[in-house]
Structure formats: C-alpha cells, structure tokens
Amino acid sequence: MEPGVIIREYTIPANDFVVAGEASSSVRKLLNQMGVAPAVVKRTSIAMYEAEINAVIHGHGGRAHVEIDSEKIVIRISDDGPGIPNVELAMQEGWSTAPDSVREMGFGAGMGLPNIKRHADAFHLDTEQGRGTTVNIIVHFR
C-alpha cells in the first residue's frame, strides 16, 4: 500500500432500501472530514450513490472498494448480478429495466449510469451477462 492512501471496503446488501446508501454516506463523511472541497464531495456522493443504488436494485447487492490519496478518489462498485445485456441502451437517459417495486421507491428512471458518467472524471463499466457488473469511478480533487 502506498503511504497516505486510505482504503475502505463496504458490503452492499441486496434489496435493502433502508441501508442502501450507507457506503456512500460513510465516504461522504470521510471526504468532509478530510476537508475536500464541497463541490467535489457532492460530485463523488452523487456518482457513488447512483452506483450503490444500482448494485442494490440490479446486482443482488455487492461490494464497494474505495481508495483515497491526496489527489483523487477511486471507487469500484461490483456485484455478482445478471450483468447488463446492452450497455449502449443502459447508458441512454430514460432506459431502465427496474421493476415497479423499485420505481415505487423513487428509483429506476434510467438516469443512474448517465448521471454517474456526468459527475465522474473517469468512468468505466465492466459487465458480463450472468457474471456481474463493476463500475469504476474516479473523481479528482482539483
């Protein structure tokens, strides 16, 4: 491990809308404590929370791995869910495969992935049908 790198691991429970967002909330608190600029904290929060909610909704839960150094935050959220059959469609605003139960919770409008991309400095999606999805997000502090 490089000196000065903070690493955090979180478990994201499946279909639990009460604790969904706990990982993002913890990272947000950590960044605030570190004195990261509020605009950067907000961009990171939005990107990570969207990815975390996706893992809850679509991925049967998953894991978040977070690395913070003096320049950036790297977030990797992975799940063992069904994978995304058509990434091009999934990246379109408004495209969603979320069930009604998720929509009743206020999510599943098909804005998640595009919103992550919008707020991240780097965004990469690895997905394989039947194997799962990993979302990689980097946000630079300046």
Contact residues for other proteins (CB under 8 A)?
17-18, 20-21, 24-25, 28, 38, 42, 45-46, 49-50, 53, 103, 105-112, 115
Q: Minimum Å distance from CB 28 to other proteins?
A: 7
Orientation angle between helical segments 38-58 and 112-119, nearest 10 degrees:
150
As a whole number of angstroms, the distance between CA 118 and CA 77 comes to 17
Of 62 and 108, CB closest to other proteins: 108
Q: What 3-state class would DSSP assign to 132?
A: strand
Q: What 3-state class would DSSP assign to 76?
A: strand
Of 81 and 108, CB closest to other proteins: 108
Q: Minimum Å distance from CB 129 to other proteins?
A: 24
Please give the DSSP secondary-structure letter assigned to residue 14: T
Give me the sign of the Cα torsion angle 20, 23, 24, 29.
Answer: positive
Of 111 and 125, CB closest to other proteins: 111
Q: Minimum Å distance from CB 131 to other proteins?
A: 26
